[in-house]
Structure 1
């Protein structure tokens, strides 16, 4: 037998249906870390890859992040056999004279991130982490926390990190400057938009950081503190749940969208935090279903190394898609999914029968993230107006594609000089030399008119593109109006689907259409009457570029366009049905006229993500 990477996944074989299953999953995920604890237990080093911060901070990350799950596990009565390691590690890590000292905190330091997990655990299970410490160790720990909170934290969800440390200081009876707490709580209010949606700072993006950071920390706060902020956080979570549920497919998968996806099942953190906060934003059976189905979706994915340590990546180990701030310990933010373990076995989250998501065939317009979600045979496709992230690697792929999917994850490009071989799934790429390329990075305008999305963007300062996206499940329609002073080459991609070995897939590419048929999936793109002729291409994309499938196929349309105005129209679909070539593929939708689309653009309301100033040069 050959090695099966999925078998190394600590979740493999776990039915993940009961509280006991979830408790077992947590311990099974944690145990592979034990050989990697340092002699003094203050650091956990998992491999030699680096993040932009120093090694001590990376080792602290590996040490601290499991606490997001271990603390609620113990608070709910679970037996964790290694609290002595954590108590010793805290004592040594905060001792400036110990060789495993974590290092002094400086402004906007990664240590600030990890101290939030420590603050949460100290607040929730002080008997495990505080009570065993000597008087000297307690002094060192408090000095370390007080020193860290003196610095300015990043102007985003990081502000919650100091708040969580302050909650711990309160519970431990430590005196500190509470005006700093109030200052950050007030500033966090500035990120709130409406209807339960936030921005993660003054940026043009609204992603999974809203549920697994802004709401996650707010709901923890609402459980540990009683004040007006706690009440607001609970009220906003009630509203947010009504929209966020549309980001999940029937099998538990969520939209692969945005940065930090190596945190994997942290994407269930919002549903988990509702259980922790005892907030029935949806019927408990639905909340339980969203949480546990998402965990189950990960159970058969090759997301761990041979020893069971979670890898950097999404559906498989993949450093290419990672962020500059991802160290080997980063994936353990996934432990945020285990907050329900703090709830006793008699809590309605556990006693309720798991319920499937409310079935719907309707498209749902989400103005704040600029999306229109579209159910498609149990999966979800989200058309996207496009958001902005020019500060991080592959920001265009993570935020500015035309569509994102729960089943067909996006791809990142592996070579900026390979226009001829780029995947460009759910993107329109331009090249003026046949080698380098440009895609959408940011919008000058983005609006929503009913279920139609409109955006205006410029791949170069002198080239303007107007894009309309229209749902027509299982299809969606794209129309682009391109104004360019010079000829350009173009490539537009459909969805990436898994590619098999031995050339077992069916590929078709003729003028105006292209499709690929895999083991279970069909993906196709067809021209709907562009003003230039486009050639079909069934591309075998570069390996390890897609987040879920290591090898993929992407149908494309390619054409050279002249100077002046060009109209590009196409219909795109991907479906979990290999026989679709003789069904839905034969019935493409019709694109509206340009005049009709212009009227819609004029009637649209601005997407909330555009409300921040952004960083367009």
Structure 2
């Protein structure tokens, strides 16, 4: 079918009195939500059941993708309807027609059921949540025949297997909805799913997305959002009531950390899989206000959420046809994963959950307040993922030095996942998507130029000492001959045959934009390889400055260069990564480099030019640390 051209969004003037940082108000959020919905509806079938959006097809096929587009846009529509039931009647009627056609067994274009297609298990959850939030407006007004169709469609989830990751929530919310409307449900399914959820809890609000060290945005937009939605969907259920207090505390703890992972330009931390969901990163902030379980003020919450939305709007997330493409800023097909279809990016709808709150809610009426990175430089250690976080107010960048996350477990020998296993991530740089890379790396290059990996490392812990954050890991560097039949990319590094290299300890001593990276090499004689210490991946057209410089402490690192790739990547056209290293085979010993990422106004470019004195390293602001003492404490702890 050929869709008519997209109409422009209907928006009021920016309001910098109510929203001094972003200018966005609830009316702007409504305008963008309505624009996304109108644009997607142009690609719907006549019965509204399927949205055949232009673009990529997932491994599940077009029928799955069209259901996905319906379900995820319906989730967005449900937030609009819940927050403004009087003004969204036409929207409710549009989706009511699609819900009927999609579940009508006599319709040849009906949706596959969750019992027939795994991806339908995911989309069923969005449908269930949306119907629960709009129950009085939509569900209660559906004809009995349509309600029975929907119940029968949902009931195919009962007894189905779900992987022990965030997917367990898709079964939980569907069966909870079924129970609330008189359908069949399985207490065993619900209890098992909740038990898996609790087993993945790693402390202070953080969950791992499965049994591996998989920390990413799913912590917020799945593990923290669904428990709060459950309290709205089934407030009288004894299981929900019994866990309400702990779920509230976990969300509040997580948000205390999450607010520190948003840059001054609104960028969320660019790390982890499914980044094509873009402003879904705002979801946990809204969840805190929706359920009232947050220590963040309403003004700080809206600043974070509106900042995240504006970051993507300003960078082409919505294309000229009013659609969300696969990509990060604009379209970038290289970010497609096996489960990604044209409807997938619409899980960004989760980031618009705040629209379920009425216009008079304090989160919409309070004046925006600054983010932590706008209030001053800060340091923060986040235990579960093993992150040491430094935010700098001068350039508004938040940096994470990572010694605890790799989407694997200790001792596993696979390739590094670009989105999990790098030594550093930030709100300003996009990781190099090639597994063998100099991006924030300590690697070894063999005679053929192949680079090692560190996945499977042991996290040594982290701490603060004399105003400096210290963290580290230990691993056996290894080359991987990748198995071409290793399966789909769901976040983990590629499997294959591992060849061991040296044993390595890496420590990051950080303050602000500056990292002193110390590398201890042992058993270098296993191979003949050159050491490479790589810096931050920076687009050549950006205002960012990245550098790596040797520090006269231990072995010499006289070789240096800048790696370039002149080709499009998710946030630019020309990627560059600085590096230093040994000109020949590395020897056992200690090596050190100062690694810097600074933005416009960052002022850290001269860091590390002063040699260390008496074993103490001096940061640009004059803070000093005894390097040997810090390393001894790290290794002993």
Please give the alpha-carbon distance, in whole angstroms, between the structure 1 residues aligned to 2:415 and 2:446. 21
2:386 counterpart residue number: 370
Is 1:403 the equivalent of 2:424?
Answer: yes
Note if contact 1:432-1:489 (Cα within 8 Å) is conserved in structure 2: yes
2:46 counterpart residue number: 39
Is 1:467 the equivalent of 2:506?
Answer: yes
Gaps of 5+ in 1: 1-6, 417-421, 501-517, 605-617
Note if contact 2:532-2:582 (Cα within 8 Å) is conserved in structure 1: yes
Greater relative contact order: 1 or 2 (C-alpha under 8 angstroms, separation 6 or more)? Answer: 1
Please give the alpha-carbon distance, in whole angstroms, between the structure 2 residues aligned to 1:238 and 1:187. 21
Please give the alpha-carbon distance, in whole angstroms, between the structure 2 residues aligned to 1:100 and 1:55. 12
Which residue among 489, 495, 503 is the counterpart of 2:530?
489
2:155 counterpart residue number: 146
Residue 582 (structure 1) shift: 6.9
Please give the alpha-carbon distance, in whole angstroms, between the structure 2 residues aligned to 1:578 and 1:96. 61
Please give the alpha-carbon distance, in whole angstroms, between the structure 2 residues aligned to 1:39 and 1:311. 23
Please give the alpha-carbon distance, in whole angstroms, between the structure 2 residues aligned to 1:45 and 1:17. 31
Which residue among 557, 562, 565 is the counterpart of 1:533?
557
Is 1:499 the equivalent of 2:540?
Answer: yes
1:562 counterpart residue number: 585
Residue 527 (structure 1) shift: 1.0
2:204 counterpart residue number: 195
1:19 counterpart residue number: 26
2:67 counterpart residue number: 60
1:318 counterpart residue number: 332
Note if contact 2:557-2:580 (Cα within 8 Å) is conserved in structure 1: no
2:573 counterpart residue number: 550
Residue 11 (structure 1) shift: 9.2
Note if contact 1:107-1:152 (Cα within 8 Å) is conserved in structure 2: no
Query: After TM superposition, where is structure 1 displaced by more than 4 Å over at least 4 residues in a row?
Result: 7-16, 578-595
Which residue among 173, 176, 197 is the counterpart of 1:167?
176
Note if contact 1:487-1:560 (Cα within 8 Å) is conserved in structure 2: no
SS in 1 for 2:335: coil
TM-score normalised to structure 2 length: 0.83
Please give the alpha-carbon distance, in whole angstroms, between the structure 2 residues aligned to 1:105 and 1:141. 12
Residue 578 (structure 1) shift: 7.2
Please give the alpha-carbon distance, in whole angstroms, between the structure 2 residues aligned to 1:338 and 1:345. 14
Question: C-alpha deviations, 1:163-208, integer Å up to 9, x for none?
Answer: 2112322332324333322232233111122221222221212211
Question: C-alpha deviations, 1:233-268, integer Å up to 9, x for none?
Answer: 112112222222111122322210111111100001
Question: C-alpha deviations, 1:324-347, integer Å up to 9, x for none?
Answer: 222111111111111111112221
Please give the alpha-carbon distance, in whole angstroms, between the structure 2 residues aligned to 1:583 and 1:165. 56
Note if contact 1:457-1:465 (Cα within 8 Å) is conserved in structure 2: yes
1:113 counterpart residue number: 122
Alignment of 1:319-334 (within 5 A): 319-334=333-348
Alignment of 1:150-549 (within 5 A): 150-226=159-235, 227-358=241-372, 359-376=375-392, 377=394, 378-389=396-407, 396-413=417-434, 424-450=438-464, 451-460=469-478, 461-483=500-522, 484=524, 485-500=526-541, 520-529=543-552, 531-545=555-569, 547-549=570-572
Shift of the 551–10 alpha-carbon distance from structure 1 to 2, 3 Å rule, reads farther
Shift of the 337–166 alpha-carbon distance from structure 1 to 2, 3 Å rule, reads same
Residue 443 (structure 1) shift: 1.1
Gaps of 5+ in 2: 1-6, 15-21, 236-240, 479-499, 618-624
Please give the alpha-carbon distance, in whole angstroms, between the structure 2 residues aligned to 1:221 and 1:325. 26
Shifted more, 233-242 versus 73-82: the winner is: 73-82
SS in 2 for 1:398: coil
Question: C-alpha deviations, 1:398-434, integer Å up to 9, x for none?
Answer: 11111111112222128x6xxxxx5x22122322233
Note if contact 2:404-2:459 (Cα within 8 Å) is conserved in structure 1: no
Residue 129 (structure 1) shift: 4.1
Question: C-alpha deviations, 1:535-587, integer Å up to 9, x for none?
Answer: 22133324234x32232332222434426414331111121237948755755
Note if contact 1:305-1:311 (Cα within 8 Å) is conserved in structure 2: yes
SS in 2 for 1:46: coil
Please give the alpha-carbon distance, in whole angstroms, between the structure 2 residues aligned to 1:261 and 1:379. 19
Residue 121 (structure 1) shift: 0.9
Note if contact 1:9-1:302 (Cα within 8 Å) is conserved in structure 2: no
Question: C-alpha deviations, 1:51-93, integer Å up to 9, x for none?
Answer: 2323322211111112332112111115343333322222222
Shift of the 579–83 alpha-carbon distance from structure 1 to 2, 3 Å rule, reads closer
TM-score normalised to structure 1 length: 0.86
Aligned residues: 571
Please give the alpha-carbon distance, in whole angstroms, between the structure 2 residues aligned to 1:73 and 1:553. 42
Note if contact 2:324-2:346 (Cα within 8 Å) is conserved in structure 1: yes
Please give the alpha-carbon distance, in whole angstroms, between the structure 2 residues aligned to 1:199 and 1:10. 40
Is 1:576 the equivalent of 2:599?
Answer: yes
Is 1:83 the equivalent of 2:116?
Answer: no
